[in-house]
Structure 1
Amino acid sequence: MRLNKYYSAAFLAFFMWGFFSFALKPLHLYPSLDILFYRVFFSVITMVLINVFFRKKIISENWNRFKQLPPKEQKKVIWLTLGGGFFLSSNWFVYIFVMNHVSVNAASLAYLICPIVTTVLAFFMLKEKLSSWQWVAVGISFLSCILLSFDHFQDIFFSLVTAATYALYLVSQRKNNEIDKFLGLTIQLIFTAVILLPFYPKYSGPVPTEPIFYTCMFMIVVFFTIIPLFLNLYALKGINSSAVGIMIYINPIINFLLAVFYYQEQVHTIQLFSYFLILLSIVVFNKEVLFKKNKNKYSTTKDAE
């Protein structure tokens, strides 16, 4: 039961991100960097206010706990927290660059490559063990990415860089368990805002005045930044980076379904087959969790007989 809530948190995070287009599409006339700037700045303001007015006790407890840590552990917490902020801001920067200057396909492909990169990095850096079935799932995922990358080999490099930055964020935060996750996320977003702030005067457009911008930005900040990122970090407390990483596939699957049934975009047979393989890889990777309940139920029934 305890393990399931962490899987549920990871699933819900990427499920929510799958509907990001609902808030992003109405803003297609605004520059991508402006959306990035306001997303980060508004997220920081919101999270700081929540911490100041509703979480003072938690902040105090975490500060006291941090001061009691040995100097070596303190440095580790600082590096993991700020490093996570760096990887997160790098991912957003690179994603915007790829989307605007390389291709939309490369940006989408990054979401599909990311689980594989996360799994490999977690295996080598965190020594996370994978079962034979989970390696089969990684192989299925790799095959689906190869199929989707046909005629787009030039995009692979940029997709790998985008995927690697988020994979490094997930892997680094797996070991960052000494401070409250919401507080840690607040510090990371403040760090991201500090990185972005010098670029704002030169690269930002006019201050938006339309209500639709701020309505959509509210949805982006609350439902597509703060809540899913917190759920993502919370999930890492109970399951390994590979398991969280494989859940990323939920995002492109929902994007694909929306593209077909809501936005009426054309798809090819090879795309349908590739996304079926992705869905299959998620089931195979999480086989032990998904079918554990049924297995236990069968064993109990058999014992009773």
Structure 2
Amino acid sequence: MSEISSKQALAAASAAYITWGFLPPFLAALQPASPLEILAHRIVWSFVLVLLALLLLRGGWSWLRSSVFTRRALPSLLAASALIGTNWLIYIWAVNNQHVVEASLGYFINPLVIVLLGVLLFGERLSRGAQIGGAIVLVGVLIIAAGSWQGLGISLALAVSFGLYGVVKKRSQLTALQGLLVESAFLTPLALPYLLWLGPAGQFGHNTGLTVLLVMAGAVTALPLWFFAVAAPRLQFGVLGVLQYVSPTIQFLLGITFFGEHVSLSYWIGLVGVWIGSVIYLVMTIRSHQQPEALEPT
């Protein structure tokens, strides 16, 4: 992978974040499949696709014994599987129930949740600028909460579930594709029996177009992670930090245009606070030369 140039890495990272940004219309196209059925297909076909990719790469499987089936790694990977499955289900439900704007807010808040968890769980320290940025984000969230507690619940559920996912993945020695394979492998014994139980009551096989889209859910899950795995080691933290906000921005714009969702004045005011606070935090973090890990979205 050393032959990848910085321009190619930037293109790969952009492709990953743009794909994640345009995920809501794809998920909406999977209706009338239920969120649980969509999740099950996403898990099963991700597992199949990533397994095939790793078989083609012929990288060997010794990492399973050294980095998965150990007393230290296995509980963390099981927890990561449960958390990412929960995050995916909440996100799918949000999109298919006209809460795209609230979902996008969750991923605006997520970097700050990760920072808070780093402070509380790992004793990490914040610069004064980062503290100011985080405080502004908090004020923005409180303004939004004053106008819509229900919507905020969706945002916080997504932000916290993915933040906790980042915590348990912090010490993982797996690559992005290896991690996705393991997590989907742990979830497939739940997802596949559910799909078999659905049988004719499910949407798979009844409509050719929808069936193809359900299979493509695996590619839509795995390919952005592949792009991200290629790009992340080759780009500066500041570049990844800026790109991290591309996905929720696209999702928010799609929410108010493509999905026609209404955004109240208090929501706009709070969201502006979240944007300003996030920018301040990002700029101050880059200036202080801190290097927190950049995590992938769903």
* Class of the TM-score when normalised by the shorter of the 2 chains: 0.7 to 0.9
> Given the alignment of the two structures, is residue 213 of structure 1 paired with residue 214 of structure 2, yes or no?
no
> Given the alignment of the two structures, is residue 168 of structure 1 paired with residue 170 of structure 2, yes or no?
no
> Given the alignment of the two structures, is residue 59 of structure 1 paired with residue 55 of structure 2, yes or no?
no
- C-alpha offsets along residues 235-262 of structure 1, whole Å, 9 cap, x if unaligned? 88799x9x98997654332122123344
Alignment of 1:253-268 (within 5 A): 253-268=249-264
**Match for 1:23 among 18, 23, 26?**
26
Q: Which has the larger radius of gyration?
A: 1
**Alignment-derived partner of residue 71 in structure 2:** 75
Letter in 1 for 2:180: L
Q: Are the structure 2 counterparts of residues 133 and 39 from structure 1 closer, same or farther at C-alpha, using a change threshold of 3 Å?
A: same
Where structure 1 has 5 or more consecutive residues not aligned to the other structure, the ranges are 293-305
Whole-Å separation in 2 of the counterparts to 1:81 and 1:6: 28
TM-score, normalised with respect to structure 2: 0.73
- C-alpha offsets along residues 58-84 of structure 1, whole Å, 9 cap, x if unaligned? 234535xx54x8x9x932232332321
State the 1:5 CA deviation: 9.8
CA contact (8 A) 1:174 1:236 kept: no
Alignment of 1:1-305 (within 5 A): 13-52=16-55, 54-56=56-58, 58-60=59-61, 62=63, 66-67=65-66, 74-95=70-91, 107=103, 110-157=106-153, 159-177=155-173, 179-202=174-197, 205-206=201-202, 207-223=204-220, 225-230=221-226, 249-288=245-284
Whole-Å separation in 2 of the counterparts to 1:254 and 1:270: 21
State the 1:51 CA deviation: 1.3
Letter in 2 for 1:46: L
Whole-Å separation in 1 of the counterparts to 2:112 and 2:62: 37
Whole-Å separation in 2 of the counterparts to 1:167 and 1:158: 14
CA contact (8 A) 2:130 2:284 kept: no
Letter in 2 for 1:200: L
Identity of aligned residues (%): 21
Where structure 2 has 5 or more consecutive residues not aligned to the other structure, the ranges are 289-298
Q: Are the structure 2 counterparts of residues 164 and 238 from structure 1 closer, same or farther at C-alpha, using a change threshold of 3 Å?
A: farther
State the 1:132 CA deviation: 1.8
Aligned residues: 281
Whole-Å separation in 1 of the counterparts to 2:44 and 2:259: 30
Q: Are the structure 2 counterparts of residues 291 and 153 from structure 1 closer, same or farther at C-alpha, using a change threshold of 3 Å?
A: same
Whole-Å separation in 2 of the counterparts to 1:25 and 1:48: 27
Q: Are the structure 2 counterparts of residues 126 and 233 from structure 1 closer, same or farther at C-alpha, using a change threshold of 3 Å?
A: farther
Letter in 2 for 1:121: L
CA contact (8 A) 1:249 1:278 kept: no
Whole-Å separation in 2 of the counterparts to 1:175 and 1:40: 23
Whole-Å separation in 1 of the counterparts to 2:152 and 2:262: 23
The structure carrying a bigger helix percent of its residues is 1
State the 1:161 CA deviation: 3.8
Whole-Å separation in 2 of the counterparts to 1:290 and 1:263: 35
Q: Are the structure 2 counterparts of residues 90 and 237 from structure 1 closer, same or farther at C-alpha, using a change threshold of 3 Å?
A: farther
**Alignment-derived partner of residue 299 in structure 1:** none
TM-score, normalised with respect to structure 1: 0.72
**RMSD over aligned Cα atoms:** 4.2
Of 105-114 and 27-36, deviating more is 105-114
Q: Secondary structure at the match of 1:149?
A: helix
CA contact (8 A) 1:121 1:167 kept: yes
CA contact (8 A) 2:27 2:92 kept: no
Letter in 2 for 1:79: P
State the 1:272 CA deviation: 3.5
Letter in 1 for 2:113: V
